[in-house]
Structure 1
């Protein structure tokens, strides 16, 4: 399953090779592979790579969101070319239930491209995941660029509107059975069962 981020958050074509996200079955979860241009802008976070980094959205990142459209429970995955990552479980728009969960994540880079591979356990995906969106961010200051797989349609942009990746109404249908097979059932998640008890 492959997705190409070919537009800015507000629907204009990007002027570079698109970020590519590939999803594939893995042991007890999904493999998420990223191929993206490498800008090194902003520079790497100051913390050690290979660990969660809160606030990673302020750096150069590729993000994927897996949503249950009925409950608005969703998984946010943020991956950085410098080896940092951030996992968030949310219930309702921007309402974080858990964050900085561990992730198996590997990165390789050249001067102009980076490749990342993350293993997403089924326990991180909300029950009945059925919608998806993905985003990419790079650049600093006025040159900051926000890109989206499924952007806000240009005719719906409001004056002085800013990019907001939590506009769940613009996510599109996502069927894991197309990847896993028609008879597959999404495994139950202890994470989300515990989250439901604490909501």
Structure 2
């Protein structure tokens, strides 16, 4: 490709990246105009892999159903405690009862989680944090302290950043842009170019000798 055509391609790629980053749509036709078939295929493969990983984590969370149910019950009691705590006229005794009940339910949920993970440690892949049951490192029995599903809508979950199709498209376009800016020279092509330079130099020297 000529320098002018490469600059035009870079300009299109930058425009597509800006559009995607701002939430605007970039069509498949637009992408195919600046990416090769192999690059489009790689981009699609990355998206399929991302969707497969999400499905895999949902399946793992399904296998932690007992823990999920116990966590849900503990959350409901904890929400009752929080609501009661917001009431200035509520009795301290009543708040303490609910607080202790919620903490007890969280403790039982964590114990069940430990049992489930001891049978299959791979289930931890679907959790929103690293889990360690070593003495002194156990999850704290509270709404904020217990592990949750990595894609949980709970305000207490440490939700992981999922790659979207937009993210994958931007990455593919950025790789292409970087490739144009920093082309990789093939070793064989480089050797051929060196030979051509040597041949041209020899011809020039021969011409100069004949002119002497």
TM-score where L is the length of structure 2: 0.22
More strand by share: 1
